[in-house]
């Protein structure tokens, strides 16, 4: 082989190799300074540029945030804000962006993933900025604020809220001789027996800790101790609540939506295949689009043992620790969760504002949402610590096995505990 | 000699084809349903509508044509780049001797075994440092080669008889001449297979594209269409209309290259 042939082939393959290794990349995170001009709010000649990352539910929400940002820019003309919707999985996108220091200055964080991000150190605590701006925490429900605390520090301010209510197709309930939706879970069992006898599926309810956790709380149990960040599946006080769920599944009173041909409970409900669902306010726009003529009532999530436990789902705005303009970003964050912006949220009807004084505005034009607003008062945030993903996967897999294999509650909980431990040791 | 195929075989094959087609036909049907009846099992033909397609193609909130253009640009550049780079690299590995050839090839094989998700964050950081976020460079340059396709090409070229190369050398051809005049024309099935797989892989690529592109103008079709549904609020008629529009270019590519593609499979099977 001629020399040039030899070396050209070496060069070609070496370029390929370098390309490959470059493709794999290296974890070279630079520690860029985050302390730049702590109070910089920009000037006319040198404005501050900020970015807001949103996991938008659709064009209407993107428009709402854009309008809120315009109102902010009017108040702070030297701060320019760009709104960027996340296009894929928000957590996945955020993790890469936070690692590369390209994350937006502030962004949506769902309560279920909040502590995972907060414990990583990539999110800036807000306590100092709250003090500086005299931020009023009393304007938000405690359960909502708690959802964005980690080790005593406040990392996020909730922008909206949601909880579970009971939605009932009264036509189907009346067919079984039931005049009003059940107010307690024991009333539900009686009604469910009547519905089942008429061949009507009583309640579409997924096999998901996000829905059935109130039963565990109502019987005095708890799967997670937030104070010590410990997972407590095997606490014997949990058996009774889980047993209530498993028993009703076995009876066919609670029916997994997939068994009724739906990816979530709203689908069979819209099709008139089930008498009741226990979902949040996200059900309403879905029903308006897919079953605009169906009449249904919304009542409080049923109580049990005299307790009105509920699940609270909420999203906050949080700030990247890598933000180059933290003071301006904090101003924007407080504005987007404060009175003026939340009033715009209330008027749009897209979400229940977390800012309590604005909730009356929202309820005035959306009175049917009252149960969802009330549910937050007795709610527990849907979050189970920084290993929340593993937690949910472990308990949901074990509960599904429990339903399919007819396992006892203690067997389900032991399985969940060992799965969680093995995942967390990896 | 031709073997007689039993009629029962045709019956089973036809039935199987019909069953396989049901989800596709159902998707087409649902894409024509009005939003209010999207969960209804049957919607009468008179109520079927073009509203989803109209929305996708004309709504200012859905930049369908821009996303389509981005998808075409990315898939075409990546496919052409792969054809050039993979074929040349496979040729070098198969026909040349050079220092560290064995270890280098082992590196390629090792890279094939690393799941893409593992390198997602380091790759993102690298591209962020290069300033390639929200750019065509970011979507194309890291994907201009494929270790698997280099491996496939190498195996294909290894099977070429030495006599062919020797004869070409006697006739005065150099390595480039041998490659372009002898090997490349003989590897049409390989090129067709690479084209289809590479184009399809990039056409449907979602994970990396969604991570890299945060500006709506830079979305590719799968990423843009993903925004049509939320966790609870899916417009299934629009989603399925989008998916069908997304599928059409892939079907065209397959039909263009199908003869070579099938030939590639059959020749590799009778060696």
Q: Which residue of B has its CA nearest to A88?
A: B210
Tell me whether residues B128 and A88 touch, CB distance under 8 A. Answer: no
A266/B125 Cβ within 8 A: no
- Decide if A107 contacts A336 (C-beta within 8 A): no
Helical H segments across B49-206, by residue range: 51-58, 64-95, 101-112, 120-130, 136-140, 147-158, 162-170, 175-177, 184-186, 188-203
Cα-flanking dihedrals φ and ψ of residue A274, to 5°? Answer: -145, 145
pLDDT at A425 (0 to 100): 67
Is A206 an 8 Å CB contact of chain B? no
Torsional sign, CA A346, A351, A355, A360: positive
Q: Which residue has the higher pLDDT, B218 or A39?
A: B218
The values of phi and psi at residue A319, to 5°, are -115, 135
Determine contact: A97 vs chain B, CB below 8 A.
yes
Instruction: Inspect the interface and report whether the beta carbons of A291 and B39 lie closer than 8 Å.
Output: yes
DSSP sequence for B231-263 = SS-B-HHHHHHHHHHHHHHHHHHHHHHHHHHHH
Which residues in chain A come in under a pLDDT of 50? 1-2, 4, 8, 10, 12-37
Model pLDDT, residue A86: 85
Q: Do B124 and A97 touch (CB under 8 A)?
A: yes
Q: What is the pLDDT of residue B266?
A: 56
Instruction: Tell me which chain A residue has its CA closest to the CA of residue B119.
Output: A24
Report the pLDDT value the prediction gives residue B265, as an integer from 0 to 100. 57
A98 vs chain B: nearest CA distance in angstroms?
A: 9
CB contact under 8 A, A95 and B175: no
Question: Cβ of A31 under 8 Å from any chain B Cβ?
Answer: no
pLDDT in tens, B73-93: 999 999 999 999 999 999 999
pLDDT value at B269 more than 70: no
CB contact under 8 A, B226 and A87: yes
pLDDT of residue A19: 41
Q: Give B134-191 pLDDT, tens digit per residue.
A: 899 999 999 999 999 999 999 999 988 888 888 988 988 988 999 999 899 988 888 9
Q: What CA–CA distances, in Å, run from A263 to A2, A400, B127, B233?
A: 65, 16, 37, 11
Nearest to A215 by CA among A310, A284, A149, A122: A310
**8 Å CB contact between A302 and A182:** yes
Distances (CA, A) of B66 to A73, A159, A255, A426, B217: 29, 32, 44, 43, 7
pLDDT score, position A38: 54
Touching B: A residues 260-299, CB under 8 Å: 264, 266-267, 270-271, 282-283, 285-286, 289-292
- pTM, entire model: 0.78
Here the ipTM equals 0.72
Closest CA relative to residue B98, chosen from A4, A92, A141, A177:
A4
B263/B110: higher pLDDT: B110
**pLDDT tens digits for range B30-62:** 999 988 778 777 888 888 999 999 988 988 778
Q: B125, A29 in Cβ contact below 8 A? A: yes
Strands A106-110 and A48-54: parallel
Which residue in B98, B210, B227 is closest to A10 by CB distance?
B98
Inter-chain residue contact A289 with B40, CB threshold 8 Å: no
Give the angle subtended at the CA of A46 by the CAs of A126 and A86, to the nearest 5°: 50
């Amino acid at each position: 082989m001629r020399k040039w042939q030899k070396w050209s082939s070496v060069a070609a393959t070496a370029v390929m190799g370098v390309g490959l290794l470059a493709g794999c990349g290296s974890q070279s995170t630079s520690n860029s300074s985050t302390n730049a001009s702590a109070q910089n709010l920009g000037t006319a000649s040198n404005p501050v540029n900020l970015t807001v990352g949103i996991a938008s539910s659709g064009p209407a929400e993107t428009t709402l945030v854009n309008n809120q940002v315009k109102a902010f820019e009017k108040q702070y003309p030297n701060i320019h804000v760009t709104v960027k919707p996340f296009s894929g999985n928000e957590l996945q996108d955020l993790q890469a962006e936070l690692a590369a220091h390209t994350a937006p200055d502030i962004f949506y964080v769902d309560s279920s993933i909040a502590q995972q991000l907060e414990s990583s150190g990539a999110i800036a605590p807000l306590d100092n900025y709250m003090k500086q701006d005299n931020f009023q925490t009393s304007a938000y429900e405690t359960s909502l604020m708690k959802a964005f605390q980690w080790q005593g520090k406040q990392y996020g301010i909730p922008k909206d809220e949601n909880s579970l209510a009971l939605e009932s197709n009264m036509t189907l309930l009346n067919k079984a001789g039931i005049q009003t939706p059940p107010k307690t879970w024991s009333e539900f069992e009686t009604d469910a027996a009547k519905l089942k006898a008429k061949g009507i599926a009583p309640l579409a309810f997924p096999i998901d800790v996000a829905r059935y956790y109130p039963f565990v709380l109502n019987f005095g149990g708890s799967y997670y101790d937030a104070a010590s960040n410990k997972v407590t599946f095997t606490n014997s006080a949990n058996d009774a609540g889980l047993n209530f769920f498993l028993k009703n599944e076995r009876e066919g009173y609670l029916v997994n939506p997939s068994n009724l041909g739906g990816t979530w409970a709203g689908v069979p409900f819209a099709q008139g295949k089930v008498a009741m669902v226990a979902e949040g306010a996200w059900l309403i726009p879905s029903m308006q689009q897919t079953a605009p003529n169906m009449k249904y009532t919304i009542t409080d999530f049923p109580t049990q043992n005299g307790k009105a436990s509920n699940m609270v789902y909420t999203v906050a705005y949080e700030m990247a620790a890598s933000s180059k303009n933290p003071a301006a970003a904090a101003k924007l964050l407080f504005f987007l969760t404060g009175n003026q912006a939340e009033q715009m949220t209330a008027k749009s009807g897209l979400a229940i504002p977390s800012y309590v004084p604005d909730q009356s505005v929202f309820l005035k034009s959306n009175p049917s949402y009252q149960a969802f607003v009330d549910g937050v008062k007795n709610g527990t945030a849907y979050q189970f610590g920084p290993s929340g993903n593993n937690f949910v996967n472990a308990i949901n897999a074990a509960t599904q096995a429990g339903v399919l294999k007819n396992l006892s509650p203690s067997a389900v909980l032991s399985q969940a505990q060992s799965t969680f431990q093995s995942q967390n040791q990896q | 000699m031709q073997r007689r195929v039993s009629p029962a075989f045709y019956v089973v094959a036809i039935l199987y084809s019909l069953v396989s087609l049901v989800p596709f036909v159902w998707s087409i049907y649902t894409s024509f349903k009005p939003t209010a009846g999207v969960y209804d099992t049957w919607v009468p033909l008179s109520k079927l509508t073009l509203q989803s397609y109209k929305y996708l193609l004309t709504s200012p909130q859905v930049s369908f044509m821009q996303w389509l253009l981005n998808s075409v640009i990315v898939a075409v550049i990546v496919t052409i780049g792969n054809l050039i780079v993979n074929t040349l690299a496979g040729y070098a590995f198969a026909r040349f001797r050079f220092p560290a050839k064995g270890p280098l090839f082992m590196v390629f094989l090792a890279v094939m075994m690393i799941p893409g998700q593992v390198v997602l964050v380091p790759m993102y950081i690298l591209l962020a440092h290069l300033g390639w976020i929200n750019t065509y460079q970011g979507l194309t340059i890291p994907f201009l080669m494929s270790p698997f396709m280099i491996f496939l090409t190498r195996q294909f070229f290894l099977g070429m008889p030495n006599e062919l190369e020797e004869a070409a050398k006697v006739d005065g051809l150099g390595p480039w001449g041998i490659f372009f005049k002898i090997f490349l024309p003989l590897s049409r099935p390989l090129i067709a297979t690479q084209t289809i797989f590479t184009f399809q892989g990039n056409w449907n690529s979602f994970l990396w594209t969604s991570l890299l592109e945060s500006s709506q103008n830079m979305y590719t079709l799968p990423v843009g269409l993903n925004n049509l549904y939320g966790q609870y609020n899916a417009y299934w008629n629009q989603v399925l209309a989008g998916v069908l529009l997304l599928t059409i270019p892939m079907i065209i590519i397959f039909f263009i290259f199908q003869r070579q593609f099938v030939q590639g499979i059959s020749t590799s099977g009778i060696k």
